[in-house]
Amino acid sequence: MDDEWCSFLANARFDVGLSIDGTEWLHDRNRTDHSGNGTYERAVAAVRRLQAHGIQPDLLCTVTSETAKEPLAVYRALKDFNTGWIQFIPIVRLTADGQPTADSVTGQGYGDFLCAVFDEWIRQDLGRLDVQLFAEMALVWSGGNASLCWMAPTCGRVLIVEHDGSVYSCDHFVNPDHHIGNIEASPLSALVDLPVQRRFGDEKQTKLPSQCRSCSWLTVCNGGCPKDRFALAENGERGLNYLCGGLRQFFAHAEQPLKHVTRLRKEGLTLEAIRAKLLAESQERWRGVGRNDPCPCGSGRKAKHCCWSKRV
């Protein structure tokens, strides 16, 4: 990412996403060059160079089984770049025999990761920094329609173009079965409306398991990303999202706080005032609670075994 590229992207008004996996240790564990060297310093330099050209890149952070163990370290490292936008991408890959790889995040791990990041974000960074998933959930719960493909009822409107012009249905499905054309032969506007592409997107809804259709979180999930829908539902039906348990855990955790923020916004409070109010409410909730007392979150566990580290 040199100055020439940055200048071109800025002049053409491109939105730029840049992959950086939080801390240096985690990033270099996941992302090495052809010589096996870590690329964290180069990623940081790319962020700074883009910013020097007036571009605030979207930071794209993968969440692996290791990343999930360090939610706050990862979040704070990304926040320090001051780009204003973070996107977390769960890594779920399968071995040849159909089992999740060792670096794949589990549903529980992903749910715990999101809950920890959310708690810090809503107390400290609401209105200062956007996390894509949190913003989309707030949009849906305030009556809007999700723009994030995996949360919407159908998908298939976000194509991937490779370096040779080849176009595929989705960046998670870059394989011969999902090759739909080439931009040297057809415009993207034509390719995205091909019957085969529309069918790909519609199957997100038509192949939804019955467990999902009756789920209370359907409006903010819609089954999740098709690439992760290989688990068995409670009735044995195939097609449940592998991350389902973690997503349900997180939706339940975040619903009331986000809806509370929406109500306060409608009352005319500024985001700064809302942050102050949330902080005061949290302090009041923890007033007089000791380590061995029941956690005020209502879990029934002792505070020291539950939310003690999150108290303010």
Per-residue b/e over 20-49, b at no fewer than 16 CB within 10 Å?
bbbbeebbbbbbeeeeeebbbeebeebbeb
In the set 171, 193, 228, 293, the catalytic residue is 171
Query: At how many degrees (to 10) do helices 71-79 and 107-120 cross?
Result: 50
> How wide is the angle at C-alpha 249 spanned by C-alphas 283 and 243, nearest 5°?
145
Torsion of CA 165, 168, 170, 172, to 10 degrees: -90
Token pair of 228 as six digits = 């992760």
Whether 21 is a known active-site residue: answer no
Just list the catalytic residues: 171
